[in-house]
Structure formats: structure tokens, C-alpha cells
Amino acid sequence: MQGLSEAAGLVGTVAFAATAVLAVAPRGIDLLTACVMGVLTAIGGGTVRDLILDQPVFWASELSVLWVSLLASLVTFYAYRLIARRRVVATLLYLDAVGIALFAIQGAAKAWWLGFGLPLGPILLGVITAIGGGLLRDVLAGRESLLMRRELYAIPVTAGCMGYAALMAAAPQLGNLAAVLCIGLIFGFRAAAIRWRLRVPDWFRLEGDRPEP
Amino acid sequence: MQGLSEAAGLVGTVAFAATAVLAVAPRGIDLLTACVMGVLTAIGGGTVRDLILDQPVFWASELSVLWVSLLASLVTFYAYRLIARRRVVATLLYLDAVGIALFAIQGAAKAWWLGFGLPLGPILLGVITAIGGGLLRDVLAGRESLLMRRELYAIPVTAGCMGYAALMAAAPQLGNLAAVLCIGLIFGFRAAAIRWRLRVPDWFRLEGDRPEP
Amino acid sequence: MQGLSEAAGLVGTVAFAATAVLAVAPRGIDLLTACVMGVLTAIGGGTVRDLILDQPVFWASELSVLWVSLLASLVTFYAYRLIARRRVVATLLYLDAVGIALFAIQGAAKAWWLGFGLPLGPILLGVITAIGGGLLRDVLAGRESLLMRRELYAIPVTAGCMGYAALMAAAPQLGNLAAVLCIGLIFGFRAAAIRWRLRVPDWFRLEGDRPEP
């Protein structure tokens, strides 16, 4: 179980770094920018979570996260033509979905066990863990941030964290089961969004044709 | 006094969240983005302040801030047509002025009583507490940040925090009086700016027609 | 040695604040925005470093950094016409190079002596210390961030921090020598980039003409 979780974490880290390089590359980047964007995307969300929880920043003692995200950024940079192919990109998107599912619930669980602002705190920190790195990447690269796009990305994460908080409030002794269920829920929801190109439905949106008040 | 301050804090929180949703809505947002923007705008400034002061993040023990900002975001999203009317927006702007006045001086006072880098530290942290959440919102939404606009927003806040630091240095035993005076100063200055559409005067500016050096 | 380092730190602080005001001024700013941008650029990187290292934020006990950056911002604002001249700007760019060289190695050394995620942690934190404030300035001002430009800015910093980590791993007892050497390396590399307008070479880049995958 522990081993499986660590393996999934490394897969998610690779996917975060690689998709970050792919996302930023169309604007023209050098090797260093690729590495910085890859590493910051992989560690950014968890770093902000740990600062808010007043816990030691996770990558100081889990240095593999830095090495793996660095290596994934380098490989994506040098093998850009191979990796930017449609099939590889699609695979990376699904692996990225593994990453956001795992990191969201890990973040929510860390906050929950610390009793940090239950029940809203863990939901907020789970979302920050999963998408904080991507937001940082978008802001530094001058891209429209993922919060402003119609892609279903933050919504599956939030739904899963809300489900986790509800299950933990109902049955805290089944923590592991709740975690596995909600990781599955986020991954399934996000994978469906990738597979069928689902977008945020209109009834869930305010349209942007209104003048700024 | 304590009760009044808490009531004003909730009013400010509601106004921060509601104006954030109104500011971002013209770009087209979904319900989740509205909630995230509303909550981050309400808690962002105080969170950065607490991290810098190395104090526990305030909303972990004041969970009402999360609930209230979440609720205000939801209501603003679903009642957008009602709330985006001129009268309601104007009212919200004045309530937002209550919020920045209160949060600025609360932030400056927290830093002052911790003896954090007197006298400049409390001024800087007061400004960060009041406008940090709005800056985060602007950056994540891809809007021009409030520091780059001609609206009189950060200037009243800074003037009030400077006044507070001066009064505290002169007469620390009159802390409560200084706080009340400077909250009034910020609110009055900002309310006048809203009422008469005051803008940063030219003699206080460098014009933007210069080539980048 | 200590005195020399402090003097160089103040020179770097002045240069960070002044170049920040120069960089943002073409968009039109008021006096307050100039001061905020100048101060945040000077202290931003070191602040993020200290938060991640869980150390007290450096400027709370080194208040001179706030005063000096504030003063430099004020002078640059009011003497804009004098300071925006080509000769003065060129001088400031070289002084800024002194600043990034010194702050990068100071940041890396602080992380190294705390044993923070060796050897990658000190490299990452050195880079964050040197360029974090500039990134914050670019994001708040809505400029293209320095990571996305072809200027050789982050690359000399990273090369110097990597060299420092390598020297410290090989011969930790020669820490001061390693620091001096790597400060010289960053400054020399960056100064050459300014002098001969070096840009990131093509073999180190991915061109931006690719469609976003």
C-alpha cells in the first residue's frame, strides 16, 4: 500500500513536470526555464500546503521529488519532438490525472490528521496541493490560469476532496478506504473529462459577455 | 468593541468575496472558480501576513471566515443579475472599504504587538493584509493588478498604516484609539475616492509614455 | 570580509529597487506603486527562501534592507529623468549583477549550512533568493516574467549555485573560498551578458513556433 502510493507519487511527479514543459514550450523556452517550470509545477502545491500547515516542506526530506521532476523536465526538453506526439501527450494527461488525484487526497489527509480547520481546511488544502503548482506555472509563464479555462480540471479535484471530508467526518476509522475511494473518484472524473473532452457545462457557469461592473 | 470588530470583519469578508466574484465574472467563470476566487481574496492577505509573522494561519482557528466567504461567493454567483446592479455594487464597494480599513489596521497591529521590524514592518504587513488577497485574485484571473491601476485603493490603506505606526510610536498606551482613528481614516479616504471617483493625481505619478529603458 | 559583504548587500538592494522602478515606470505608476515594487523586488526572494527554510524572515531583524530599498525607490521615482539615462541604467544593471551574485550564494549557503535537501535544495533556494523578487515584480506589473525572456539572467545565477554546491560537496571546509569564487562567477557571467548583449543561444532553446499540444 505504502509502496504503491510512493510509486503513484513518482508517476504523478513525472507527469506534472513533463506536462509543464509541454505547456510552456510553445512560447519558446530555454533548458533552464524548462527545468524551473517542471520542478516548480511538481513541488509548488505541496510547498504552499506545508507552509500553511506550518510543517517542514516535504521535498527537503523527500529529495527524490526534486531529482525525478528535474530529470523528467530534462527528458521532455531534449526529446520534445518524441514527447509532443499526440499519443504520448494523451498518456501524460492520464498520468497527470493520477498525480492530481493522489496529491489532492494526500494534501487533504495531511490537513485532516492535523485537525486543521475541519472540515473546510482539508478541502482547501487538498485543492491547493493538487493545482497550486499548475497555477504557479501558468502565472510565471503568462498563460491564462487553469482556473479561468473551461477544462474540467479543478472541479474533479474539489469534488474528490469534498467527498473525502464527508467520509472522514462520517467514519474516521475508515480513513484508508476513504482515501482510496476519493483518489479513484478524482481520477475517474478527470479521465472521463480527458477521454470525452468534457467541458464545464453552461448551467455551471456565468458567461463572460457581461461588462465589468 | 470586540463584538463590533468581529461584525465589521464579517462584513469585510462578505464584501471581499462578493466583489472578487463581480470582478472576475466578466471573463466567464464557473461556480468553483467563483468560490476559489472569493475565498482566496478574503483570506489571501491575512494568510501571507501570518506566514511572514510565523504565526498560525488565522483561518484555521476562525473557520467562520471560510464559511462566510464561501457563502458570499455562492450567493454572488447565483444572484449575479441582482447583485451586479449599480446600487448593490456601490454598496459592496463601501463595504469593501470597511474591510480594507479594518484588515489593514488589524494586520499592522498584529505585527506591532509582536515587535516585528518596527516601524516599517507593521506598515508593510498592514498593506499586505488588506490588498494581498486582491493582488492574488488579479494575478490568477489575468487582470491588471490593482497596483497598476489609477484607482485610489492602496494609497488610503498605506496612509492609514503609516498614521497608525506614527501614533503607536508616539503613544503606545493609546493603541485602541490609534486603531479606531486610522480605521476611520482609511475608510473615509477610500469612501471619498469611491464617491467622487478620485484618481491618483498626476503630480503623484510617472506617466507611462516613456520607452522601457 | 563581513563588512564587505554587508556593503555589497546594500549596493545590491539599491540596484534591485532602482531597476524595479525603472522596469515598471513605462507602464505609468504612482509613488506608492514605485515603493511597493522596489521594496518587494528587494525583499521578495529572501522572504520566500526564509519561509521555505522555516527561518525568521531576514528583514525583520535587518531593517536597513527595508529603509534602503524604500529610499532607492523614492529617489528613482523623483529623479526618474536623471536615472533613466543610458549611462546610469547601465551602471545600475552592473550593480544589479552584484546583487544577484551575492544574494544567490548567500541563499544557497544559508540552505547548505542548515543541511536543507542537499545538494539540490541549496541550488533551488539560491536561485529563488536571487530571482524571486524579480519574478514577483514581473507578475504584479503584468510584464513577461524574466523566465520567459531570452536575456541571460537566471542562467548565470543557476550556474553559480550549481558550482557552489559542487565545491561544498567536495571541500566543505573551504566554504568561504567557494562562496567568493561563485559570487565572482555569477557576476562575471552576468556582466559579460550585459556588456556584449549575450542572449540564450539557440541550441539551448526550444523555439516557440510549435502549436500548444
Please tell me the distance from the alpha carbon of residue C31 to that of residue C78, in angstroms, as a whole number: 9
Note whether C94 and C191 are within 8 A (CB): yes
Nearest-by-Cβ selection for C77 from B124, B206, B208: B206
Nearest-by-Cβ selection for A205 from B28, B56, B86: B28
pLDDT (0 to 100) of residue B163:
98
Residue B18 has pLDDT above 80, yes or no: yes
> Which among C33, C40, C77 is the top mutation candidate for probing chain B, defined by the most B β-carbons within 10 Å of its own β-carbon?
C33
Closest approach of C163 to chain B, Cα-based (Å): 30
Closest approach of A163 to chain C, Cα-based (Å): 30
Closest approach of B146 to chain C, Cα-based (Å): 9
Q: DSSP states of A134-191 as a string?
A: HHHHHHHHTPPPGGGSSBSSHHHHHHHHHHHHHHHHH-GGGHHHHHHHHHHHHHHHHH
Residue A209 has pLDDT above 90, yes or no: no
Residue B183 has pLDDT above 70, yes or no: yes
The number of domains in chain A is 1
Please report which confidence band the pLDDT of residue A1 belongs to, taking 50, 70 and 90 as the band edges: low
Q: Which domain holds residue C40?
A: 2-201
Q: Kindly determine whether residue C26 and residue B117, on different chains, have CB atoms separated by under 8 Å.
A: no
pLDDT (0 to 100) of residue C213:
46
- The string of pLDDT tens digits covering residues C129-176 is 999 999 999 999 999 999 999 999 999 999 999 999 999 999 999 999
- The string of pLDDT tens digits covering residues B44-62 is 999 999 999 999 999 999 9
Provide Rg for chain A, Cα atoms: 17
Query: Does residue B212 sit within a domain?
Result: no
> Which among B30, B62, B80, B85 is the top mutation candidate for probing chain A, defined by the most A β-carbons within 10 Å of its own β-carbon?
B30
Q: State which residue of chain C sits closest to B132, comparing Cα positions.
A: C140
Contact residues, chain C, for A25 at CB < 8 Å: 206, 208, 210
Q: Kindly determine whether residue A206 and residue B59, on different chains, have CB atoms separated by under 8 Å.
A: no
Using the Cβ of B37 and the Cβ atoms of chain A, whether some distance falls under 8 Å is answered with yes
Q: Kindly determine whether residue C210 and residue A23, on different chains, have CB atoms separated by under 8 Å.
A: no
- Using the Cα atoms of residue C97, residue C100, residue C105 and residue C106 in order, give the sign of their dihedral: positive
Q: State which residue of chain B sits closest to C61, comparing Cα positions.
A: B117
Mean pLDDT along residues A153-158:
96
Residue B213 has pLDDT above 70, yes or no: no
Query: Does residue A129 sit within a domain?
Result: yes
pLDDT (0 to 100) of residue B204:
87
Query: Does residue B114 sit within a domain?
Result: yes
Q: State which residue of chain C sits closest to A24, comparing Cα positions.
A: C212
Q: State which residue of chain A sits closest to B55, comparing Cα positions.
A: A54
Q: Kindly determine whether residue C140 and residue B139, on different chains, have CB atoms separated by under 8 Å.
A: yes
> Which among C112, C147, C204 is the top mutation candidate for probing chain A, defined by the most A β-carbons within 10 Å of its own β-carbon?
C147
Residue A77 has pLDDT above 70, yes or no: yes
Using the Cβ of C18 and the Cβ atoms of chain B, whether some distance falls under 8 Å is answered with no
Please report which confidence band the pLDDT of residue B29 belongs to, taking 50, 70 and 90 as the band edges: very high
Q: Kindly determine whether residue A117 and residue B61, on different chains, have CB atoms separated by under 8 Å.
A: yes
Average pLDDT, chain A: 94
Query: Does residue C172 sit within a domain?
Result: yes
Nearest-by-Cβ selection for C206 from A51, A56, A80: A80
Q: Kindly determine whether residue A36 and residue C200, on different chains, have CB atoms separated by under 8 Å.
A: no
Look up residue B134 and give its three cell numbers.
486582491
Nearest-by-Cβ selection for A28 from C116, C145, C208: C208
- Using the Cα atoms of residue B166, residue B167, residue B169 and residue B170 in order, give the sign of their dihedral: positive
Using the Cβ of A56 and the Cβ atoms of chain C, whether some distance falls under 8 Å is answered with yes
Query: Does residue A213 sit within a domain?
Result: no
Nearest-by-Cβ selection for B140 from A120, A145, A210: A145
- The string of pLDDT tens digits covering residues A33-74 is 999 999 999 999 999 999 999 999 999 999 999 999 999 999
Query: Does residue B211 sit within a domain?
Result: no
Q: Kindly determine whether residue B84 and residue A210, on different chains, have CB atoms separated by under 8 Å.
A: yes
Contact residues, chain A, for B30 at CB < 8 Å: 150, 155, 200, 204-206
Closest approach of B151 to chain C, Cα-based (Å): 11
- The string of pLDDT tens digits covering residues C54-110 is 999 999 999 999 999 999 999 999 999 999 999 999 999 999 999 999 999 999 999
Mean pLDDT along residues C112-119:
95
- Contacting chains of A (3 CB pairs or more, <8 Å) are B, C
CB atoms within 10 A of CB A88: 16
Residue C183 has pLDDT above 70, yes or no: yes
pLDDT (0 to 100) of residue C43:
97
- The string of pLDDT tens digits covering residues A96-140 is 999 999 999 999 999 999 999 999 999 999 999 999 999 999 999
Which alpha helices (H) appear in A79-153, and where do they start and end? 80-83, 86-113, 120-141
Q: Kindly determine whether residue B37 and residue A139, on different chains, have CB atoms separated by under 8 Å.
A: no
The proportion of chain A whose per-residue pLDDT surpasses 70, expressed as a percent, equals 97
B residues 110-169 closer than 8 Å to C (CB): 116-117, 120-121, 124, 127, 135, 139, 144-145, 147-148, 150, 154-155, 158
Closest approach of C172 to chain B, Cα-based (Å): 31
- Contacting chains of B (3 CB pairs or more, <8 Å) are A, C
- The string of pLDDT tens digits covering residues C3-33 is 888 899 999 999 999 999 999 998 899 999 9
Closest approach of A38 to chain C, Cα-based (Å): 13
Residue B134 has pLDDT above 80, yes or no: yes
Q: Kindly determine whether residue A117 and residue B66, on different chains, have CB atoms separated by under 8 Å.
A: yes
Please report which confidence band the pLDDT of residue C203 belongs to, taking 50, 70 and 90 as the band edges: confident
Please report which confidence band the pLDDT of residue B206 belongs to, taking 50, 70 and 90 as the band edges: confident
Note whether B59 and B33 are within 8 A (CB): no
Kindly provide the b/e burial profile for residues C126-136, where b requires at least 16 CB atoms within 10 angstroms of the residue's own CB. Answer: bbbbbbbbbbb
Distance of CA C41 to the CA centre of its chain: 9
Nearest-by-Cβ selection for B30 from A121, A127, A204: A204
Q: State which residue of chain A sits closest to C131, comparing Cα positions.
A: A36
Using the Cβ of B34 and the Cβ atoms of chain A, whether some distance falls under 8 Å is answered with yes
Residue C123 has pLDDT above 50, yes or no: yes
